[in-house]
Amino acid sequence: MQPVLLITGGSRGIGAATALAAAEAGYTVAVNYASNSLAADEVVRHIRARGGNAIALQADVADEAQVLAMFERVDAKLGRISALVNSAGVVDQACRVADMSLARLRRMLDTNVLGSMLCAREAVRRMSTRYGGEGGSIVNLSSVASTLGSPGQYVDYAASKGAIDSFTLGLAREVAAEGVRVNAVRPGIIDTEIHASGGQPDRAGRIGPQVPMQRAGRADEVAVSILWLLSPQASYTTGALLDVAGGR
């Protein structure tokens, strides 16, 4: 029986690359998306064309009711999940903190922090031996921004990822004896569409040469690290914050 993996934000960028890699590795994949159904359906189509099993699920992870409904649909359609990747996240236009609106801050924290926590909560309720589960693995998407602070640009985004780092460490230790491993990957400058959503579509190409490895990373390079953390090969790894950032 194939293990079941839910990937939030799985319709684009790192999430999509992880979905494709996971299907190749033998997972049944639930591809979550917030609004871009066409992109999610395309990821599912690619997986099925290669003989894999996948479904697309719409849900805004910042909305608890939608998160609950999404997990119930996974239960009904695919069975109990054994892996979760919290990839859903947002960024915004470069801005100083003094100019940030409350609406911007709430959107950032609701999606990047609360969304990941809600999904992890539901995953633990299904994976943990404390609740009758058989164990599992969670990988949260953080960012090296959590160590840099992103002054003058995305301090709110960096702070949200700092929260993910702390959440990863705490949850990992909380459920370590219950068969659930929790880790985080911290990408650096990766060439994905997220830069365009922050108003800087050329950011990866512009900043990539300044990275010690002198290039931006690719989504598939991050996906490989996520799949390793999910896999039995990382069976003694929990509470890890893995930088995939070219030395940045």
Q: What are the residue ranges of helices labelled H in the chain?
A: 13-24, 37-49, 64-77, 102-109, 115-127, 145-148, 155-175, 194-197, 203-207, 219-230
Where in the sequence numbering do the catalytic residues fall? 157
CA–CA separation, 45 and 39 (whole Å)? 10
State the residue range of the domain holding 11: 4-244
The CATH number given to whatever domain includes residue 233 is 3.40.50.720
The number of folded domains in the chain is 1
6 neighbors 67 (Cβ within 8 angstroms): no
What confidence score (pLDDT) does residue 247 get?
A: 87
The 3-class secondary structure across 119-139, one letter per residue, is: HHHHHHHHHCHHHCCCCEEEE
At 49, which amino acid appears? A
Residues 101-137: tens digit of each pLDDT: 999 999 999 999 999 999 999 999 999 999 999 999 9
> How many angstroms separate the first and last alpha carbons of the chain?
40
DSSP label of 185: E
Contact 29, 47 (CB under 8 A): yes
Task: Give percent of the chain with pLDDT exceeding 90.
Answer: 86
CA dist 144 to 97, 141, 190, 226, 239, Å? Answer: 19, 10, 11, 15, 16
**pLDDT(197) > 80:** no
Band of pLDDT at residue 193, cut at 50, 70 and 90: low
Q: Which pLDDT value is given to residue 248?
A: 83
pTM of the model: 0.94
Mean pLDDT computed over 190-196: 67
Rounded CA separation 192/204 (Å): 8
The pLDDT of residue 195: 47
If we measure between CA atoms, which residue out of 163, 156, 221, 227 comes closest to residue 188?
221
204 pLDDT band (50/70/90 cuts)? low
User: Alpha helices of 25-154 — where are they, by DSSP H?
Assistant: 37-49, 64-77, 102-109, 115-127, 145-148
Supply the pLDDT for residue 99.
98
Q: In which band, very low, low, confident or very high, does the pLDDT at 172 lie, cut at 50, 70 and 90?
A: very high
